[in-house]
Structure 1
Amino acid sequence: MGPARGGEPPLRLLFAGTPEAAVPSLEALLGSGHEVVAVLTRPDARSGRGRKVSRSPVAERADAAGLPVLQPRSPREPEFLAQLADLAVDCAPVVAYGALVPPAALDLPAHGWVNLHFSLLPAWRGAAPVQHALMAGDEVTGACTFRLEQGLDTGPVFGVVTEPIGPRDTAGDLLGRLAVSGARLLVATLDGIAAGTLVPRPQPADGVSLAPRIETADARVDWALPAHVVDRRVRGVTPAPGAWTTWRGDRLRLGPVEPLPTALGLEPGEVSVGPSGVVVGTGRGSVRLGEVQPAGKRVLPAADWARGARPAPGERLGA
């Protein structure tokens, strides 16, 4: 293992992460001058229709790299804490691991745990910062590296990158870009820690906002909201957990919609099929549907769905 980029001795690292958004950071660390000695990720879970056991994206990448993979049910388990002590790592970078790191583990690495968080802290502390930034109509977001402490995303910040939010960005689009730029920030942060040149700064007391996990129930479309709000809320939950409404008593999943300036005389949720496409009324203005997915069926263009569904005059989504 060679020196890190600044010529300083490399850090021994435990990388903690779980979803696809954490994989670019693991990749970047594997290509850096630092040494990833093990990976901490959430336990294998059953998913999909067949309920097959699947490993997390981070676990799969770690397997391919031949790294030891630690998967405690909880990082509070004494067995994990003993493993962490035995690893004698200098630092533990964290990207969307998915469980709280207990106080007993925080001080074991000499340089602590360095979390890559996908917001401009102290804005959007919590599990779903990208989704909440989009749903709130933010024009700019970014990513921060900070030292993990017992509070929820409250630790002092090492570094920041910013990212503009495009008018048609989905949460998936935005997270994909932040995962890449954030990975570069994480490596630069660890280089600075290794060199002793980087000192974290406390977060401002003002501007705190919270980004709790978004559940499926939160992704149901409220057609009484204005069209521009419906639009950004749908994009904010795309691809997960996925926007939805109901149609004739069954759930209908929705892809991104396009806000239109006029309501075309439609009530909230009322469906109109015509030259403008499949249009739905909102509390102010209307939206054009893009792709939809009826319960138990494949994704299809809204126009194809409407040909089969044949909405009656005045019939509404979400009724």
Structure 2
Amino acid sequence: MQTRTLGKNGPKVSALGLGCMGMSDFYGPRDDAESIATIHHALDRGITLLDTADMYGPFTNEQLVGKAIKDRRDQVFLATKFGVVRDAADPTKRAISGRPEYVRSACDASLKRLGVDHIDLYYQHRVDLDTPIEDTVGAMADLVKAGKVRYLGLSEASAQTIERADKVHKITALQSELSLWTRDPEENDTLDMCRKLDIAFVAYSPLGRGFLTGAITKPEDFDADDFRRNNPRFQGENFARNLQLVHQVQALAKEKGCTPAQLALAWLLAQGEDIVPIPGTRRRSRLDENLGAVAVTLDQNELASIDRIFPPEAVAGARYAAAGMTHINK
């Protein structure tokens, strides 16, 4: 497994991480046994970066990851997040909190669920518009001093927020969506700001929530409780237009002798050594397919061909429904 460094002098992690969200939430029925087997297989294959959050489940994904790594903690660079407040009794209810007292209590709760004595990378999941970022990051910095957290991160923050936060305490990583069908960080200056401040970029949903794999051909492919059924990019004309883009990626992948997923991940890995994709999967077979991307090398002509198919404006539909966009790039 190749490695990448989170920042100039930061920790080394595997070039591909593993996003664990879908093992517990949002993508249909759970299979905890296969999910744990997938995490173990990832560690066996050299993946070190595991990504979770307290809101996934809610809460159950951290418990799952904690169970999976119980006897293998030394192999894991463990990342989790706080800030999206969900009610276990009614998971549809959500709020955003970056209040210092909440930061402290959320961290303690995550440590307990994960069964660990420290978190390697602790992200603010979404920016709290009612709490100054300086206050939130100040509380996060106190967790570092207390030995509960090693490195700090933000998720879906704007360039201006990143810059303010980094003045309070070094930000090691920004986690935001980046893929062939989400090029926003290239357009809104967040990627440039990360590079200016030597902050790694951890790319979630690098396969477009599975769409770029070519496995999704119609909206009916989703389970009844799959959140993609209500995502704007998977609706009506948007779905049809986006599917045409995927067909072109499939053609390029066939020419290259790899799968569409591997092509999409290879494109992302080629965008810079400071970018670490964290594709999510619940199955060992998909994990092995994703890892094959590390061996795919794209030359400048191939990268240019992909960019012509997928310019930033090509994708139809917003990333989330309106409510979900409220705290994006803030």
TM-score of the aligned structures, taking structure 1 as reference length: 0.32
Structure (1 or 2) with the larger CA radius of gyration: 1
| RCO comparison, higher one (Cα < 8 Å, 6+) | 2
TM-score of the aligned structures, taking structure 2 as reference length: 0.31
Is the strand fraction higher in 1 or 2?
1
Is the helix fraction higher in 1 or 2?
2
